[in-house]
Amino acid sequence: MTSYILIETESGNILEECDSSRFRKGGVPPVLKAEKGLKWLELVEINPKIKDKQIKEGPTIEITDTTYTRTWTNIDKTPDIIKKEVADRLEIEAEQAFYYVGTLMKALNDGSFVPNNNLSTEQLKVILKGHL
């Protein structure tokens, strides 16, 4: 099935994206008058399957008189890319861990919990809720 994209000719802004089933006459969009400042173009997407130890970049856009092409490229992971991925993953894990233990850490830091205080579960919940 062919896809089409409606763009503003001056700015290149995308107004609509659809497939040929939207158009009654043979699945082809109508030709618009130039003074409307709009144009239907065939949408071409080049998106190769990613292989092991690669990442996807893009898309780059190329606009011709009849087509709007989005192209993604796959590049091999470099040591710098791998380091960044690891750092990003650690950042996410730290944020998730803080979500679970952050409230407890706040309560410990402000003195809400005193050693040997023998608080009940309900009393602990009240203190923790106060830090949420």
Average pLDDT value for residue range 55-61: 93
Q: Residue 107 — pLDDT band, cuts 50, 70, 90?
A: confident
Tell me: do 68 and 92 sit in the same domain: no
Tell me: do 66 and 101 sit in the same domain: no
Query: Residue 95 has what DSSP assignment?
Result: H
How far, in Å, CA of 108 to CA of 119, rounded?
14
| Domain boundaries, position 91 | 79-130
Q: Which of 48, 76, 104 is the last residue of a domain?
A: 76
Tell me: do 67 and 36 sit in the same domain: yes
pTM for the predicted model, two decimal places: 0.60
Other C-beta atoms lying within 10 Å of the C-beta of residue 127: 16
User: Can you give the pLDDT at residue 30?
Assistant: 87
30-61 burial code (b ≥16 CB/10 A, e <16): eeeeeeeeebbbbbbeeeeeeeeeeeeeeeee
